[in-house]
Structure 1
């Protein structure tokens, strides 16, 4: 990487930082924004207070009305009922449901295991909550407190497959009940879920305009690194007419969504529980809190109002998805409702490369190279490096041209001292123009490769295909590889040693040494080269806890780059290159329209000065 390349990258970085600094609001603007927020908050608080007062009045009125009705000892019939655990399962998932609350108490993904080879349970009975809240007979009802009556049916689809349906009814009297219906098809990660109210209009408070569906889970740690898994764990939701968003994964947060959403997901690094509306959910209240309990990541909770009209029969149809965050699988189950966007493929300007290039190519290799994911990553790297080889060659050639021109650049620098910087720059650019050399030629090919490098940085840590797949000493390519555990933890590094990370750092330093030999040497470049050696050391700390598949990819990619550089260096002869440059100088330089306009502007400016 030559000086101009480094300067170009530094300038781009400085421009971005400068732009963000210059465009940030000043103190007066911040004060005005804060005043607007405070004003909105006051209005919202007043609105909520008025709504609460009205709700209280309506409730008191309903109490007076309901007091005229005869009250039963209990709202729901519970005589002779006992808790039962009922299982619905197919070849992919096992759902355990309790008649206490009529809710799912365990979700087991049968094809997967935790990092320590235990069954992979997304929900646990004592770490989850699910049910309805509403008012009935002057009481706030929580369906989790009551026992439901179960009824299981099975529909035969063919000789080997059947669809299982579980009906759980909470009776309030003869032919009056709330019904939860769960239906599980064979070979599916999706379960249908419906809520029905039957003849409950004289039980549920007459002023009720909605029933509140609540759902909360303490999300268990499933992977080896709790801190790394936490980065990808949180609450995600899909705006009906917009895009997929998520709550903070690094801090506690509460949010009420006034816009309609299609689904809400409790997502972990490789697995998700998703509740999908038939039409849409509105005014959903969400919360996400980081858990301090060992073995758990976050406490997540959702409250979903379901519009209630007081009719004899009302039905709310939904679906649950319990499964892996696999891009092909999510695309199969919900391409039309943006489920694949649960897989974090990076920023929008790089996600397209993962979506349309890396994932299809990886899946193709996975289908044709079975079992060895280290070999799949190697082949993926080779294909990408071969496609990028023209850019690598162009970058090296530009650096070689700059190197052979260095003696002539030194003569210009001697001719024009630092005090005549403008004349020195004009003479240098004129030399570049005559020689047909683009000083940014080494930088632009590298910038074009950056989106690809960044895209793969996002792809590997979220690729469930690599989860618990071993290669050489790495037991899990989706997590870090550890060859030694330290008796202490080093800040920003951790308490283990990743060998693939060490190898990646070593080959990066070797590549820096080789590349610096290809650069024109001067005092300024020596200082920049020293700074460039710091980058691999920084990567050593950053990647130590990252996916070993990612470190392995960068290690192999850098090795291939070193080999390509060595081959190009043998092919490109500096003497022949200099002769080509000297020959190019003798040919007339065709000026572009932009250059002509620029020269005209410079001439006009000089005339004005005179």
Structure 2
């Protein structure tokens, strides 16, 4: 039946278009609208926040001159903290290379001429040292560098500052093997009056840095946040320029996203926080503010939050905040992708090779879908056997379309054939295969993961294009085995060239994805041969006309 064949072609084309479109999102520069400086505040309350930039002119005072950079190294993090404000202004991930085999640590955050991506935090409010009425505080530190000792489980970096009767210690606590950092303020009120402060933390990133598509630096950039009512929301720079975010929530989180990596602030999850965004001087900001805190004379208090900078590891992110793990963005099919990701990682734990894990999960998924595949091909075979009768009806009622429809339906009823039987199984299977695709695209575990022979990075394209060619060959064989319903010569030519077209598309796909589709085609070929053999025993015609 031509309509069935057309639906199959459309379905495959739709899937491929979605794959192609999504891959372009990650490999092409993201368009950025012209930046206009916004003076409005986030909900009218961000005017008290400061942004300290690399190019900003600092006051020529002894305090400003005393600012310095403090270097910190752990087994998984290398970062720099500016003593002015205690901001994280540079952060690298030594466990992840920017370029495979080059030995260069992945630069997640950095402060460069014309570009900035930093994490800031501080105390605002009437008596806060980071209030816009004051210059940013310059903290003192006992050392210029700190290193997590071998065998140690924790590294504490204390920064000290006195401000109008408040003795403040800003403490960073690092844990071995962990990408989350505990950031705490220990505040003592040594004055004779009540002091009022309000904690904030935000991420600042230059919107348009003029980067090209060389892939030397991350291209995709955007923000996200989570609240108690909506666990995950993207809020990109275009959104920021149109409207400042203002959300009140208990707990919550804010983040800046890249393909495989994320930086995030997780404020006190028991407090009522205000999430905000703003755009100032070409920089996009997303952050959170905690409730105002009153400190009685002689009293002390502790304010804490968590900063995360590292790979999108779902288990670790889920422990930090509700919905933070959804930054591994599987789209609207996340509820299918997450179990598939669990299955993929479980398999990898046994086979210890992500390429073999992809092959195994493809076998499992295709095996589980076999009953639907069988229904699909058997239905198509039944339709093929009806072809002479269908052609007879078409010739009889060629001038009377109104009678042809009921006659065709009567034929289907009499022969007990469902004309949509070959399409419905495909429609049911499509979400599963799309969900599995998202798993391969979004999982940082596949980044720079080797397979075998010439495939040393499953997240990169095949350097010799062997897999795309093999995929095209397997698709061509599937065409040869599939009963041809198309009779129009032009459509037949289009079908003939489809394997070539898809092979060309797949030249730019990650080799892990191409491996998945190639193995899937091989399994489909085996299933088709087995199903057709069984149908021929039942007297059903399976050969092409």
- Which TM bucket (shorter chain)? 0.7 to 0.9
Q: What is the match of residue 473 of structure 1?
A: 454
Report the CA distance between 1:7 and its aligned residue. 5.2
Report the CA distance between 1:406 and its aligned residue. 1.1
Counterpart of 2:315 (choices 307, 319, 328) is 328
Kindly report which structure 2 residues correspond to 1:319-468, keeping only aligned pairs within 5 A, or say none: 319-331=306-318, 333-334=319-320, 337-347=322-332, 350-356=333-339, 358-370=340-352, 372-414=353-395, 416-468=396-448
SS in 2 for 1:226: coil
Name whichever of 178-187 and 443-452 sits farther off.
Answer: 178-187
Counterpart of 1:569 (choices 509, 526, 532) is 532
Instruction: Check conservation: 2:397, 2:403, Cα contact below 8 A.
Output: no
Kindly report which structure 2 residues correspond to 1:234-253, keeping only aligned pairs within 5 A, or say none: 234-248=222-236, 253=241
Query: Residues 512 and 167 of structure 1: is their aligned pair in 2 closer, same or farther, counting only changes over 3 Å?
Result: same
Query: Residues 410 and 303 of structure 1: is their aligned pair in 2 closer, same or farther, counting only changes over 3 Å?
Result: closer
Instruction: Check conservation: 2:68, 2:82, Cα contact below 8 A.
Output: yes
Residue by residue over 1:430-462, the C-alpha shift from the partner in whole angstroms, topping out at 9 and shown as x without a partner, is 221121111111111111111012112211111
RMSD: 4.2
Instruction: Check conservation: 1:100, 1:147, Cα contact below 8 A.
Output: yes
Query: Residues 521 and 77 of structure 1: is their aligned pair in 2 closer, same or farther, counting only changes over 3 Å?
Result: closer
Query: Residues 344 and 213 of structure 1: is their aligned pair in 2 closer, same or farther, counting only changes over 3 Å?
Result: closer
Query: Residues 323 and 12 of structure 1: is their aligned pair in 2 closer, same or farther, counting only changes over 3 Å?
Result: closer
Matched, 1:93 2:84: no
Counterpart of 1:121 (choices 104, 107, 118) is 107
Q: What is the match of residue 158 of structure 2?
A: 167
Query: Residues 276 and 535 of structure 1: is their aligned pair in 2 closer, same or farther, counting only changes over 3 Å?
Result: farther
Counterpart of 1:511 (choices 470, 478, 500) is 478
SS in 2 for 1:554: helix
Matched, 1:184 2:174: yes
SS in 2 for 1:558: helix
Residue by residue over 1:270-297, the C-alpha shift from the partner in whole angstroms, topping out at 9 and shown as x without a partner, is 111110011353151145999xxxxxxx
Kindly report which structure 2 residues correspond to 1:2-13, keeping only aligned pairs within 5 A, or say none: 2-6=1-5
Instruction: Check conservation: 1:76, 1:172, Cα contact below 8 A.
Output: no
SS in 2 for 1:259: strand
Give ranges in structure 1 of 5+ residues lacking alignment: 14-44, 57-73, 153-158, 291-298, 484-497, 579-610
Residue by residue over 1:409-449, the C-alpha shift from the partner in whole angstroms, topping out at 9 and shown as x without a partner, is 222223x2322223222222222112111111111111111
Instruction: Check conservation: 2:80, 2:88, Cα contact below 8 A.
Output: yes
Q: What is the match of residue 86 of structure 2?
A: 102
Report the CA distance between 1:253 and its aligned residue. 4.1
Name whichever of 312-321 and 534-543 sits farther off.
Answer: 534-543
Give the TM-score normalised by the residue count of structure 2: 0.75
Name whichever of 245-254 and 97-106 sits farther off.
Answer: 245-254
Instruction: Check conservation: 1:254, 1:287, Cα contact below 8 A.
Output: no
Instruction: Check conservation: 1:254, 1:288, Cα contact below 8 A.
Output: no
Query: Residues 396 and 229 of structure 1: is their aligned pair in 2 closer, same or farther, counting only changes over 3 Å?
Result: farther
Q: What is the match of residue 318 of structure 1?
A: 305
Q: How many residues align?
A: 481
Q: What is the match of residue 140 of structure 1?
A: 133
Query: Residues 7 and 242 of structure 1: is their aligned pair in 2 closer, same or farther, counting only changes over 3 Å?
Result: same
Distance 1:449 1:183 in 2: 47
Which structure's CA Rg is the greater one? 1
Q: Which has the higher helix share?
A: 1
Instruction: Check conservation: 1:114, 1:222, Cα contact below 8 A.
Output: no
SS in 2 for 1:379: helix
Instruction: Check conservation: 1:286, 1:303, Cα contact below 8 A.
Output: no
Give the TM-score normalised by the residue count of structure 1: 0.68
SS in 2 for 1:265: strand
SS in 1 for 2:93: strand
Instruction: Check conservation: 1:505, 1:536, Cα contact below 8 A.
Output: yes
Name whichever of 105-114 and 220-229 sits farther off.
Answer: 220-229
Report the CA distance between 1:10 and its aligned residue. 9.0
Residue by residue over 1:193-241, the C-alpha shift from the partner in whole angstroms, topping out at 9 and shown as x without a partner, is 123554498999x9x885664532459999997399634x421111222
Instruction: Check conservation: 1:505, 1:540, Cα contact below 8 A.
Output: yes
Distance 1:377 1:285 in 2: 40
SS in 1 for 2:399: helix
Query: Residues 272 and 499 of structure 1: is their aligned pair in 2 closer, same or farther, counting only changes over 3 Å?
Result: same
Distance 2:443 2:374 in 1: 31
Q: What is the match of residue 19 of structure 2?
A: none
Kindly report which structure 2 residues correspond to 1:524-603, keeping only aligned pairs within 5 A, or say none: 526-533=489-496, 536=499, 539-540=502-503, 542-573=505-536, 576-577=539-540
